[in-house]
Amino acid sequence: MSSVVPAQGFQQPSEKTFTLFQAIAIVLLAATVFIAAGFLIGKNFFWNNLDQDRINQQLAYFEAKVEAEPRVPENRVNLGYTYYLKKDYDMALKQFQIAVNLDPKYADAYYNMGLVYKDMKRYDDALEALAKSTKLAPLDYKNFMMMGIVYTDMGKYDEAFKALNKANQNRPGSADVLYYIGVAAEKSGDKEGAASMYKEALNYDPNFKDAQEALNRLK
């Protein structure tokens, strides 16, 4: 088993182009735009607890964006991710596929495909999509982290540690990466190693609830 030694933002449109609804929507939806620009949605993907009214507002906003600019891949990814939040996986995948048809080198579309396939437990499809995202964006840690999460879910811990090690190299000190290394260690039976990783994650983010709960579970 492998071991681990711990170790771009988006541009808003001009204000004069906003309607009041759009301005409100941008505040609500910033985290989703981040993922299309190459940012990882936070612990447990951050938006999972978002209420359905806001998700529906988000859906309406990005549907309008796609209607206005149908050939912008980022719009398709944002719309697809909103469908993912609604657990409409088929529509999410449809939008991500349109995005890669528009731009075959758009790594984040493949990343999001992997995210959806993971939740569908279509692990081989998830790994195929993530292999493309890691090839297109080899320095983007989130691609390797998601690959490690998928391998962990599959019980392939050596492969999981290899991918998570790469994520850790690309983003040293990421509490998310350290946490998922801990998850892989715990599931593989290495409780001591898992506790060490959870503690390390908490060193970087003392408010990381999942890491604290995991550490408490091992005491």
The answer to whether the CB of 172 falls within 8 A of the CB of 7 is yes
Verify that 44 and 94 share a domain, yes or no: yes
Residue 187 resides in a domain: yes
Helix, strand, coil tally for the chain in percent (to 5): 75, 0, 25
| 199 Cβ contact list (under 8 Å, min separation 6) | 215
Q: What is the pLDDT of residues 71-107, one digit of tens each?
A: 999 999 999 999 999 999 999 999 999 999 999 999 9
- Total-model pTM: 0.79
The count of domains in the chain is 2
Range of the domain at 199: 138-219
CATH code of the domain containing 89: 1.25.40.10
Q: What is the pLDDT of residues 56-65, one digit of tens each?
A: 999 999 999 9
The interaxial angle of helices 107-119 and 89-102, nearest 10 deg, is: 160
Residue 169 resides in a domain: yes
